[in-house]
Amino acid sequence: QVQLVQSGAEVKKPGASVKVSCKASGYTFTAYYIHWVRQAPGQGLEWMGWINTHTGDTNYAQEFQGRVTMTRDTSINSAYMELSRLSSDDTAMYFCARAGEGFTFGYFDYWGQGTLVTVSS
């Protein structure tokens, strides 16, 4: 069965960086785009960007340009999201999600369980 398993919770200081991983199983990793979505406490869903797991191409939301880097390692079927220059506003649950077959931007049919990132001095 399709699974996306994310790395564990992180606590970071302001100005630091965080790298979250998302390990895929149950399907051909390079056949589907991986997106990253975050959710601040009590808030809605905010799209951050995607990575083409086949080519490594990326596309980021304007709000995160210059601060986010998405990568992948096809040898271990994993995608990564690194966010730098963290502030308290970045405290959120971060999700990876798989775009539906054939889609670059698309609906998200499978989601990771989420990784809580807390930014606090």
Partner 1 sequence: EIVMTQSPATLSVSPGESATLSCRASQSVSFSLAWYQQKPGQAPRLLIYGASTRATGIPARFSGSGSGTEFTLTISSLQSEDFAVYYCQQYNNRQTFGQGTKVEIK
CA distance 71 to 25: 17
Residue 32 or residue 108: which is nearer to partner 1 going by CB?
Answer: 108
Q: List interacting residues with partner 1 (CB under 8 A).
A: 44-47, 95, 97, 100, 103, 105-114
3-class DSSP state of 108: strand
Instruction: Kindly report the three-state secondary structure assignment for every residue of 81-98.
Output: EEECCCCHHHCEEEEEEE
Which residue lies nearer to partner 1 by CB, 58 or 84?
A: 58
The residues that bridge with 93 in the sheet, in sequence order, are 39, 116
Report the residue number, 84 or 106, with the smaller CB distance to partner 1. Answer: 106
